[in-house]
């Protein structure tokens, strides 16, 4: 990658889009807990925004769908917990180290990047299951807590964790914005379009996918560390939760619009809140209603809602059309 | 003075999996020279080009570029050496025309704007679609974009696969004219085609049949060869 030409345009020209991302998120996270006094829901929302942005980098931009994506989240959570509970690390370095561990794990998985389509999706799922079995193994109870879970209540600080999660959720959205405005982002999109043609343009698709994979797993690891910290104690099933931290995130990204800057964020905010409301009112039939809703969405808006929102904004701002 | 060989393909064989398509093919493209590869559908033209560029593995023989053996060099590394391969599908449909052009020089964006201006000078039609997705372009415009991407890349060797397929005579002429621009820039080219219009820009002609070379010579020799003449230049 030639960093001399990393940005496509002057980075200052990103400010309008950056402020359109930051301002609504700041309003949601600052005012939200006052309107609906349940901080944990907004904490989870921040974590899901991070995961959606992380998945968007690898799936939305390069077209590679890792079904077992949640493994990086879980490893981030466990890495943080182990360093705090066994090595008495401070929270911040422990979270960063946990994320680095997730990124390191993603490097071990790079041979999977030679696969494509369903093979890649399924092999990442197998990796997820393998690591679940390792972390929940009774023989590792002294290190990971095994099936009995791991606790690090000594550093519990919900308010500080919430603030950190909000800042990092916004930061992850900014990372996606920067990628989208860079030659790196263009190359990733080209890989999604035609891997062979990209190679012919002098770009090593494997190397670029590895970069995307590393960034994505690092952000997921951070999200995992923050989530674990907020919980104070968790069982392996809580972080190795395929439905929540893989499938649901994939749905959020698809609904919002994969490969876009705003789509995954908007998709996560809307669908996560719908999910929470449904879980309060229709807890027994939640998954059925949510599943039907998704079928309808995928059938009628396969590219997600971002293009529709963009069109609506254009109509609102330029009723006579753009020049 | 003898011209320097840019591309040398020596007894080269390739194919898909266990199926061998190209058998002991040899050719040379010298500096500032264009070699036209003629052959009917299924003769192995595309397979040969894909083999040279590395998309298909060599089953025998070698490929040399500027004297260096590149038979087993990775595709992206070949591209960085200055070898550009273009087929009709060499565009990214969901990306804009400008992004497509950018992808051709992503490793070196020096004078990017000047190069884009040059492409729009050669193909004014493309300028109108600068910020539009390539998926909205017509067949002819897509071909222009393919050639535009070549102009952006400024290759040291161009391998071009059937640039006129599916195009009207008017568009075909436009494409040959744009290739003449490249030729004037001194770019050595290996062009696979069925259309003899391209002999205008070629010094040498090679004919493939069932994966084997059945003719190799100058453009005038090709016209004089009775079998080649009746097959590709019309019976007369």
Q: Which domains does chain A have, with CATH numbers?
A: 3-317 (1.10.3470)
B111: left (phi over 0), alpha (psi -120 to 50) or beta: left
**Pseudo-torsion of CA A196, A198, A202, A208, nearest 10°?**
-110
Is residue A14 predicted with pLDDT exceeding 90? no
Give the model's confidence band at A25: pLDDT under 50 very low, under 70 low, under 90 confident, else very high.
very high
- DSSP label of B132: S
Measured between alpha carbons, how far is B152 from B150 in angstroms, rounded to an integer?
A: 5
* pTM for the structure as a whole: 0.84
Q: What pLDDT is recorded for position B41?
A: 87
Is residue A157 predicted with pLDDT exceeding 90? no
Average pLDDT of the residues of chain A: 89
Boundaries of every domain in chain B: 1-82+157-236, 90-154
Contact across the interface for B74 and A199, Cβ inside 8 Å: yes
Give the model's confidence band at A1: pLDDT under 50 very low, under 70 low, under 90 confident, else very high.
low
Q: What pLDDT is recorded for position A11?
A: 74
- DSSP label of B37: E
Q: Name the fold adopted by B1-82+157-236.
A: Rossmann fold (3.40.50)
Q: Locate the chain B residue with the closest alpha carbon to A190.
A: B92
Give the model's confidence band at B236: pLDDT under 50 very low, under 70 low, under 90 confident, else very high.
very low
Structure tokens at A268: 């996560």
Is residue B155 predicted with pLDDT exceeding 70? yes
Disruptive mutation site among B106, B152, B159 for chain A (greatest number of A CBs within 10 Å): B106
CA B25 to chain centre: 17
Q: Could you tell me the maximum CA-CA distance found in chain B, to the nearest angstrom? A: 51
Give the model's confidence band at B1: pLDDT under 50 very low, under 70 low, under 90 confident, else very high.
low
Measured between alpha carbons, how far is A3 from A8 in angstroms, rounded to an integer?
A: 11
Measured between alpha carbons, how far is B99 from B16 in angstroms, rounded to an integer?
A: 32
- DSSP label of A9: S
Q: CA of A205 to nearest chain B CA: how many angstroms apart?
A: 8
DSSP H or E run through A210? helix A205-231
ipTM score: 0.77
Q: What pLDDT is recorded for position B234?
A: 59
Using beta carbons and an 8 Å cutoff, which residues of B are at the interface with A?
Answer: 53, 55, 74-76, 79-80, 84-86, 89-95, 99, 102-104, 106-109, 153
Write the pLDDT tens digit of every residue in A279-292. Answer: 888 877 777 877 78
Give the model's confidence band at A53: pLDDT under 50 very low, under 70 low, under 90 confident, else very high.
very high
The structure tokens 């008495």 sit at: A88
A6 at interface of B, judged by CB pairs closer than 8 A:
no
């Amino acid at each position: 990658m030639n960093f001399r030409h990393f940005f496509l345009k002057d980075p200052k020209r990103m400010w309008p889009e950056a402020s359109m991302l930051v301002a609504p998120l700041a309003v949601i996270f600052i005012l939200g807990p006052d309107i609906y006094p349940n901080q944990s829901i907004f904490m989870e929302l921040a974590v899901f925004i991070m995961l959606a942005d992380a998945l968007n980098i690898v799936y939305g931009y390069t077209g590679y769908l890792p079904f077992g994506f949640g493994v990086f989240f879980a490893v981030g959570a466990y890495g943080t917990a182990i360093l705090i509970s066994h090595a008495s690390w401070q929270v911040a370095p422990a979270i960063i180290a946990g994320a680095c561990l997730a990124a390191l794990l993603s490097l071990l998985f790079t041979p999977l990047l030679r696969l494509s389509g369903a093979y890649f999706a399924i092999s990442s799922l197998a990796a997820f299951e393998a690591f679940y079995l390792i972390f929940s193994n009774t023989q590792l109870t002294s290190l990971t807590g095994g099936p009995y879970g791991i606790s690090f209540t000594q550093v519990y600080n919900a308010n500080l964790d919430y603030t950190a999660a909000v800042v990092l959720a916004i930061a992850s959205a900014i990372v996606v914005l920067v990628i989208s405005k860079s030659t790196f982002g263009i190359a990733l999109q080209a890989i999604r379009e035609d891997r062979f043609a990209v190679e012919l343009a002098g770009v090593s698709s494997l190397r670029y996918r590895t970069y995307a994979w590393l960034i994505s797993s690092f952000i997921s690891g951070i999200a995992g560390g923050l989530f674990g910290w907020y919980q104070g104690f968790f069982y392996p099933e809580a972080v190795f939760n395929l439905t929540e931290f893989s499938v649901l995130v994939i749905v959020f990204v698809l609904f919002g619009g994969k490969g876009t800057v705003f789509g995954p964020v908007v998709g996560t905010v809307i669908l996560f809140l719908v999910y929470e409301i449904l879980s309060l009112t229709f807890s027994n039939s939640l998954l059925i209603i949510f599943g039907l809703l998704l079928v309808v969405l995928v059938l009628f808006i396969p590219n997600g809602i971002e293009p529709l929102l963009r069109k609506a904004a254009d109509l609102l701002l330029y009723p006579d059309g753009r020049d | 003075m003898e011209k320097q060989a840019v591309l040398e393909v020596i007894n080269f064989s390739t194919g898909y999996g266990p199926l061998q398509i190209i058998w002991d093919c040899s050719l040379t493209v010298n500096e500032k020279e264009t070699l036209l590869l003629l052959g009917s559908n299924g003769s192995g033209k595309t397979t040969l080009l894909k083999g040279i560029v590395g998309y298909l593995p060599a089953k025998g023989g070698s490929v040399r570029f500027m004297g260096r053996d590149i038979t087993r060099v990775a595709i992206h590394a070949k591209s960085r050496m200055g070898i550009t391969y273009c087929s009709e599908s060499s565009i990214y449909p969901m990306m804009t025309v400008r992004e497509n052009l950018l992808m051709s020089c992503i490793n070196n964006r020096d004078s990017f704007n000047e190069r884009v201006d040059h492409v729009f000078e050669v193909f004014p039609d493309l300028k109108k679609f600068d910020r539009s997705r390539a998926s909205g372009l017509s067949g002819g415009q897509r071909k222009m974009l393919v050639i535009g991407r070549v102009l952006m890349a400024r290759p040291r060797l161009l391998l071009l696969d059937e640039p006129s397929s599916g195009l009207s005579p008017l568009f075909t002429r436009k494409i040959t004219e744009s290739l003449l621009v490249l030729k004037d820039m001194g770019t050595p080219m290996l062009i696979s085609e069925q259309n003899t219009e391209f002999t205008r820009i070629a010094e040498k002609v090679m004919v493939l049949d069932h994966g084997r070379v059945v003719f190799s010579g100058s453009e005038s020799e090709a016209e004089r060869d009775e079998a080649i003449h009746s097959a590709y230049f019309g019976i007369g």
